Structure 1
Amino acid sequence: MKAAVIPEVNGVWELREVPTPRPGPGEVLVRVRASGVCYNDILATMGAIPFPAFEPAITGHEPVGEVVEVGAGVTARQVGDLVGATWVRAGCGRCDYCRLGLPVGGRPR
């Protein structure tokens, strides 16, 4: 797959061919059609926030696309579903909103 990669701190982003990941249990693989690139990507490139600990460091963490493969145990999504992800991955678990059990992105299921 092609990806915009941050090769190193203060490096120039590169468009590279990288291995296509496989979804693990509870995960889906999404063919990204569009992705937000935010200032955190720039801060990581500059070394102002911790550089990603995985290789390659790929920019864009707010993707939209379609599910192309589902991992074991996935029942809420299927191949062909259109999906998107926000940068929010978890909540505090203690506030009133978190205790409602709703998605951290604020949209109903």
Structure 2
Amino acid sequence: MFTQKELNAIDPIYFSIIALHGSAVTLQSNNTGHCWHILLEEYPRFRSCRIYHTHHRGTPYHKHGHGATLPYCLRQIRSHDTYWLGRKKACRKRPRKHHKTDEQEVHS
């Protein structure tokens, strides 16, 4: 189970908690809207977390990575959000190419 200290690392301003169970937490980033499911796997001698991700709530999750602790997973998610928001910003800055249609080329 996640410890209370680990759960306290979830910033309620940055994340909305969708579901919280003893060994799993599902979050939504308030910055990107992406959803994250973090599953705690406990073995006899160590703990590890699996991170699953989806871009839209209600669509299937895919494996995104893993981390040793919940706070480490949260840092990975923030890093992904920074990348994603920078990518979207870069896409908006690119000039749009205007392609001539066949009809426009005939009239030129």
**TM-score class, shorter:** under 0.3
Which structure features the higher share of helix residues?
2
Q: Which structure has the larger Rg over C-alpha atoms?
A: 2
**Which structure's relative contact order is higher, taking Cα pairs within 8 Å and 6+ residues apart?**
1
